[in-house]
């Protein structure tokens, strides 16, 4: 069976772990952004790891163009799989960009990551709220796409007995 390169495989699994950590960790533990003022420390780790996830996405988008193009699925499945992958990349981008917009506009990043004075945090203005909503919705779409991806891999393996996981392993 043809395989993805070792570099791409490593990136897939590191990125998967980081995204799951962000999605599960933030859904369970991250408080809502304070309306006016409040403790911004809980956001520090999320922002730093979120930015790492964006850099990993960019590396992946660059590397994917050099990976082999597999033809394993029949045509209708091929289109579904391709769009699932494309949408995963796109939605990670929207999630990351909306997070950065929120942090930039409200000065959350300056305060929580770089230790600037709390008073420069501008609170949850309408624009910040808009990006928070985009961030929230896109994370839910991402969870659904990842669930489809994992269920798809498992079902395909059971139905066809082709171990596609080997393509994404070292």
- Is 56 a binding residue for ligand HEM by CB under 6 A? The answer is no
- Is 12 a binding residue for ligand HEM by CB under 6 A? The answer is yes
Question: 3-state class of 79 per DSSP?
Answer: helix
Question: Which residue's CB is nearer to ligand HEM, number 22 or number 111?
Answer: 22
Non-local CB neighbours of 138 within 8 Å, separated by 6+ positions: 91, 94, 95, 98
Distance CA(26)–CA(14), nearest Å, equals: 18
Least distance from ligand HEM to the Cβ atom of residue 139, Å: 4
Least distance from ligand HEM to the Cβ atom of residue 75, Å: 14
Q: In the window 149-168, what residues touch ligand HEM (CB under 6 A)?
A: 149-150, 153, 164-165, 167-168
Burial class, 17, CB count within 10 angstroms (exposed 0-12 / middle 13-18 / buried 19+): exposed
84-123 footprint of ligand HEM as x/- string (CB under 6 A): -x--xx--x--xx--xx-xx----xx--------------
**DSSP secondary structure, 98-137, as one string:** HHHHHHHHHTHHHHHTT---GGG-----HHHHHHHHHHHH
Residue whose tokens read 């993805």: 4
* Residues binding ligand HEM (CB under 6 A): 12, 16, 19-20, 22-23, 26-27, 30, 32-33, 43, 46-47, 50-51, 53, 64, 70, 81, 85, 88-89, 92, 95-96, 99-100, 102-103, 108-109, 132, 135-136, 139, 146, 149-150, 153, 164-165, 167-168
């Amino acid at each position: 069976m043809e395989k993805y390169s070792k570099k791409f495989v490593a990136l897939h699994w590191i990125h998967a772990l980081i995204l799951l950590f962000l999605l599960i960790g933030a859904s369970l533990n991250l408080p809502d952004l304070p309306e006016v003022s409040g403790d911004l420390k809980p956001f520090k780790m999320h922002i730093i790891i979120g930015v790492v996830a964006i850099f990993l996405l960019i590396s992946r988008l660059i590397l994917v163009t050099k990976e082999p193009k597999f033809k394993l699925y029949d045509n209708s499945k091929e289109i579904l799989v391709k769009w699932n992958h494309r949408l995963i990349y796109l939605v990670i981008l929207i999630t990351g960009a909306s997070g950065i917009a929120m942090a930039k506009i409200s000065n959350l990043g300056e305060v929580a990551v770089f230790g600037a004075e709390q008073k420069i945090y501008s609170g949850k203005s309408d624009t910040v709220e808009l990006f928070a909503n985009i961030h929230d919705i896109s994370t839910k779409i991402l969870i659904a796409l990842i669930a489809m991806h994992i269920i798809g891999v498992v079902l395909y393996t059971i139905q066809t007995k082709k171990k596609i996981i080997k393509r994404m392993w070292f």
